[in-house]
Each structure stands twice: as C-alpha cells, then as structure tokens.
C-alpha cells in the first residue's frame, strides 16, 4: 500500500495526545480540590529537586477575533483588564506556593493565549517577576511565549528577554491575503520579517512559526507561496497544524461556510505539499505536527531521546508537574489532571478569595499511568518497550493490529519492543490510538469528537 493510500486509510478522528486520558474521557465527577492538592504535593515532592516544574499561563485577551481560532479568548480593546487579571494570576500562584514545603524550581514557563502580547511589556514583567520572586531557576530553564506579529513590539521582546525568555512563537498561519482576510488575521510578510529579525537581534535563540493547512480559501499556490516566504526567514522551528473545523465550539468559524474549506483530498494535497517543502528546507520531523532545524535543541532532544510532550506540545524539559495558571488552564500532576473555569469572572472571583475553582479533573488509575507512559514513549522516543507493568493492559488484539502496521511499513515490533519507522512518523497519532483503552472502550460516536489525523 503506497503512502497516499495509507493516509486515506488512517485519516480518521484521533486525539492529539497532549494528555492521556484525553480530556473528553475525564469523566463528569465533581472535582475535589483537596484531592487535587494531594496529587500536586506528591508530584512536587517526588520531582521538584530532580526535574523542576513547568508553568503554563493563559492570557486570554485579544483585540481582534481570528475566526479560525478555537482557543479560550476574550475580544476587547479595553486594556484596563490587564491589571486585575495579572493580580488574579499571582494570587492563584500563591495558592500553590502555600501548598509547597520548599521553593519550586522553575524549569519551563510558557505564556499562551489569546494574545500574550495584548498585555503591556511592564505588566508582563510584573507577572514574570512575581512568579520568579518565590522560585528558583533550574540551570537549564526555558521560558517561551506566543506573539502576534502585529502587536509584538521590540519593547515586548526586550522586556521578556530581560526576565529570562529565549524562545518566541509567532502565529503566521498563511501569508495569502485572501486567506488572511477570511480568517480575519491580516499581517504582512514584512511585519513577520521585522519581528523575527528583532527577536534574533535581541538574542532569542529559537523562533517558531505556527502554520496551518486546511484553512478557508487556502490553495496549493498559497501554501507554496507561504513556504517560499518562510524559506527566506528560516525560523528554527515550525508547527504545521491541521485546521480543525469545530463551529459548534467556536462561533467565529461560522463566519465562513463549508464550501470555503478544502475537501479531504484538497486538504491532503496541502499537507503533502507542506511536508515536501519542510523536507526541502531541511526541517526534521520531530513528530505530531512539529518540525525543527538540526541546530535547534528540539531536534537535539529528539536524537537523544529526551523529548517530552504535554499540554504545551513538544518540549525538552521532562518535568512531571505542570501547573496551569489562568482561565481555562489545565494542570498535570502526573497522577491527576485539573482544569480551571473558562469564564474570566469565575476564575478571578475564586483567585481573589484565595481559592482554587476547578471545573474538571481526572484521577489516573494504575492502568492510565502505564498507558500514559506508553503513549509518551511512542510520541516522543519513537519506541515502546513492552514492560511487565504494561503487558496486563494491552488489548488482546494488539499483536494482530501491530502486525498490520508492520506489514504497511509504519513500525517494526517483536515480543519485547516496538519501533516507529520514518514512514510511521506521519501516523504517530494512529499508533498511539492502538494503546488508548479509554477510546477503545468508548461508546459509539464518541471518537468523532476529535479532529482527523491529517
């Protein structure tokens, strides 16, 4: 079976596996904050001194609505919201600090959104200095942020550089003016070039571009032109994402019609062209939509088999405790997950009272922990050892299912180990799915809540 036929076969709804169990299978039990803190303290005690911790901070405000976006955001031009939101973030951080018996060691911090650069440079510095003031920095700490090319100023990048940031990710999506018009994200090549050059001039050692295929009005010619322009700027990393059309979740996506979106064959052609261009430009396929040049530490981590994957995507800091601060943020304490409310007023009200308000949580069973580790090994190290701890949780049909993929050239395996081939990198999500017992046991129709693999 050739690659095109394999893509047709495996282009089915599959989770992105930024967590296991995936969020739809967390259950509907009422979150127990005391139980959550027990998991947090256990994970912190076990890993803070050896690995440090990660922090994700969600900054939800945007001045304009990007119609393709399904993230939690609030559209406003009123910058008076900045101060009170940062106050709430620092109050939430203090809630966690009160639970720790020692200073947290910061290994990784990421600002996501929304638009983090909606906030003024001064307020961003106040936020980061507030986080750092009660923490220690790991010798190999890494701070990164998402920047909108239109409002990420030299002052933003300089201020964040001064408090420890060395990585920046710019949302480029597509350079075609018609695509930009439909998704309401107008930004010129010159603007992206300027912010990229400023970042490098200041001293940022890793610049990432987010690119998306499958957007409304997108054509092969526009993707080719986008990659031609990208080739001139050569970002250190590229995330080449599939557009997820979920208008029932994101009202902004109702501003264009299904007819504007490439069909399955058209989208696959966009994907194939993008992968071809990435290879031509020297980007290595790190896995699940992420690509990097060989000098970048993401590539080095892949080669040395020390990649990690969490709600922030692929990273080089294998921490076990990820604390999510802000509205809608998700935390991972190894043995449990928890999510904050998406509504800003509910989130702020709880933080101002010195309380944690969780709307969703999941306590992992022994089986979940073994499957979680297996999925991380596949997605981050391209291999899986069938340990005695994992074997009791393997599906009865796993050997025959793996054999099919082996015959197709996607992987190799024996009784002890599985290894992903170069061809199999395209189908990482499908391989992980074989070990997803929660999805395997799902009710009919529940798998359709995920986007397709391609």
Give which of 16, 8, 7 is closest to 450, Cα–Cα.
Answer: 16
The overall average pLDDT reported for the chain is 93
pLDDT in tens, 153-210: 999 999 999 999 999 999 999 999 999 999 999 999 999 999 999 999 999 999 999 9
- Domains annotated on the chain, with CATH: 22-362 (3.80.30.20), 366-441 (1.10.10.920)
Annotated binding site for [4Fe-4S] cluster: which residue ranges? Answer: 62, 66, 69
Q: Which of these ranges, 84-88, 93-97, 281-285, 437-441, has the smallest mean pLDDT? A: 437-441
pTM metric for this prediction: 0.94
pLDDT tens sequence across 339-362: 999 999 999 999 999 999 999 999
**pLDDT tens digits, 403-427:** 999 999 999 999 999 999 999 999 9
pLDDT-based confidence at residue 69 (cuts at 50, 70, 90): confident
Binding residues for S-adenosyl-L-methionine: 56, 68-70, 113-115, 146, 173, 185, 210, 244, 330
Confidence category of residue 374, pLDDT binned at 50, 70, 90: very high
Annotated binding site: 56, 62, 66, 68-70, 113-115, 146, 173, 185, 210, 244, 330
Rounded CA separation 381/242 (Å): 22
- Give the confidence band of 250 by pLDDT, cuts at 50, 70, 90: low
């Amino acid at each position: 079976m050739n690659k095109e036929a394999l893509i047709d076969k495996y282009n089915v709804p599959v989770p992105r596996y930024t967590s296991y169990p995936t969020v739809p299978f967390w259950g509907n039990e009422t979150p127990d904050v005391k139980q959550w803190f027990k998991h947090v303290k256990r994970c912190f005690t076990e890993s803070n001194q050896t690995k440090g911790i990660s922090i994700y901070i969600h900054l939800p405000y945007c001045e304009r609505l990007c119609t393709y976006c399904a993230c939690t955001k609030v559209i406003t031009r009123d910058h008076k919201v900045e101060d009170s939101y940062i106050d709430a973030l620092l109050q939430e951080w203090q809630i966690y600090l009160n639970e720790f018996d020692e200073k947290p060691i910061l290994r990784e911090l990421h600002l996501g959104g929304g638009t983090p650069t909606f906030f003024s440079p001064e307020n961003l510095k106040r936020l980061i200095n507030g986080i750092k003031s009660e923490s220690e920095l790991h010798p190999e700490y890494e701070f990164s942020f998402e920047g909108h090319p239109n409002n990420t100023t030299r002052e933003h990048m300089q201020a964040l550089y001064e408090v420890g940031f060395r990585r920046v990710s710019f949302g480029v999506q597509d350079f075609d003016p018609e695509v930009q018009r439909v998704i309401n994200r107008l930004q010129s090549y010159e603007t992206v070039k300027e912010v990229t050059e400023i970042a490098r001039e200041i001293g940022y050692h890793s610049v990432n571009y987010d690119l998306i295929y499958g957007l409304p009005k997108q054509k092969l010619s526009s993707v080719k032109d986008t990659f031609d322009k990208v080739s001139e700027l050569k970002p250190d990393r590229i995330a080449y994402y599939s557009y997820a059309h979920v208008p029932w979740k994101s009202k902004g996506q109702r501003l264009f019609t299904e007819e504007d979106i490439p069909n399955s064959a058209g989208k696959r052609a966009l994907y194939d062209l993008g992968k071809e261009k990435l290879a031509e430009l020297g980007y290595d396929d790190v896995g699940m939509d992420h690509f990097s040049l060989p000098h970048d530490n993401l590539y080095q981590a892949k080669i040395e088999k020390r990649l990690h994957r969490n709600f922030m995507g692929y990273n080089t800091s294998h921490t076990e405790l990820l604390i999510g601060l802000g509205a809608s943020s998700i935390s991972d304490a190894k043995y449990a997950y928890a999510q904050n409310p998406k509504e800003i007023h509910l989130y702020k009200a709880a933080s101002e009272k010195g309380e944690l308000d969780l709307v969703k949580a999941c306590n992992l069973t022994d089986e979940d922990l073994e499957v979680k580790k297996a999925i991380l090994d596949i997605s981050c190290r391209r291999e899986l050892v069938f340990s005695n701890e994992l074997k009791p949780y393997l599906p009865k049909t796993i050997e025959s299912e793996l054999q099919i993929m082996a015959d197709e050239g996607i992987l190799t395996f024996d009784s002890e180990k599985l290894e992903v081939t170069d061809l199999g990198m395209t189908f990482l999500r499908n391989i992980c799915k074989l070990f997803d017992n929660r999805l395997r046991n799902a009710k009919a129709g529940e798998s359709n809540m995920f986007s397709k693999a391609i």
